[in-house]
Amino acid sequence: MPTAMITGATAGIGAAFARRLAADGFSLVLVARDAGRLAASAEGLRLRYGVKAEVLPADLATEEGLTAVEGRLREGVDLLVNNAGFGHPGNFFDVPVADELRMLKVHCEAVLRLTLAALPGMRERDRGAVINVASVAAFFARGTYSASKAWVVNFSESTAAELTGSRVRVMALCPGFVRTEFHDRAAMDVSGIPGFLWLSADKVVREAMRDVALGRRVSVPDLRYKVIVGVGRLVPKNLAGEISRRLGRR
């Protein structure tokens, strides 16, 4: 039975990955900060799908948390979903630098270290995959969040290129607006986002699993967002940044 590790596994896209992979027969290693919520999520998956669901409480913004998760990955997994992440309420100049550094540790350092912990075993077996959850924001200029997600996309593409000729795959997943707890936790006002731009987490995961099976290095779920990203690459960067600022939060 294959094993998948999912970080940020208790809500939103992470929880949707857990449901999908459990339904596909994966044993799960669930990583999140909230031990109580993590245990409840694991128990629900065991009861519903009859799979093994291991819990690993860890804060990926800490050295202790990162080291613990790296150690579990070196025991071997078949799929790693680097999903943990968060946003900030407010503009770049209003956010304490300690909070910005915490974001970079979770979005960049954790993705780097956990990917590198998982890949040696996958390369030895010549199978496996890493899905790094980025964002459509990676293609637009919008503060540290979009900058960190742009790093995730570049890192994923670069690592995938290094694995050319192998059956191991690395992919960046770049969803748009998804109905999860993310925006509430970041205290973002998303009342101005048109309804047609919202995606379900289950749809995002469904398209991600299809794209990683096809060997794609970047997945942008939904035709609407493929068009938005395509247009964003054509318009001047300062205009794209202004559009992103107006849409992202008030």
Give pLDDT, residue 249. 45
Bridge partners, residue 57, by sequence: 32
Give pLDDT, residue 244. 54
Which of the listed CATH numbers 1.20.140.10, 3.40.50.720, 3.30.230.30, 3.20.20.10 matches domain 3-248?
Answer: 3.40.50.720
8 Å CB contact between 16 and 90: no
Structure tokens, 114: 């956990």
pLDDT tens digits, one per residue of 128-168: 999 999 999 999 877 899 999 999 999 999 999 999 999 99
- Phi and psi torsions of 8, nearest 5°: 60, 45
Which amino acid is it at 76?
G
Task: Return the CA Rg of the chain.
Answer: 17
pTM: 0.88
pLDDT tens digits, one per residue of 168-206: 999 999 998 886 555 445 445 555 565 657 689 999 999
Structure tokens, 235: 């318009």
Q: Which of 145, 151, 155, 182 is the catalytic position?
A: 145
- Phi and psi torsions of 130, nearest 5°: -125, 125
Nearest alpha-carbon partner for 204 in 182, 186, 185: 182
Nearest alpha-carbon partner for 9 in 1, 44, 25: 44
Spatial distance between the Cα atoms of 150 and 200, rounded to a whole number of angstroms: 22
Is 145 among the catalytic positions? yes
8 Å CB contact between 88 and 97: no
8 Å CB contact between 122 and 74: no
Compute the average pLDDT of residues 25-40: 97
Mind spelling out the 3-state secondary structure of 158-169? HHHHHCCCCCEE
Strands, sheet with 128-133, edge to edge from the N-terminal-most edge strand = 53-57, 27-32, 3-7, 79-82, 128-133, 168-173, 218-219
User: In the predicted model, is pLDDT for residue 211 greater than 50?
Assistant: yes
Spatial distance between the Cα atoms of 15 and 205, rounded to a whole number of angstroms: 10
Compute the average pLDDT of residues 216-236: 84
Spatial distance between the Cα atoms of 97 and 93, rounded to a whole number of angstroms: 9
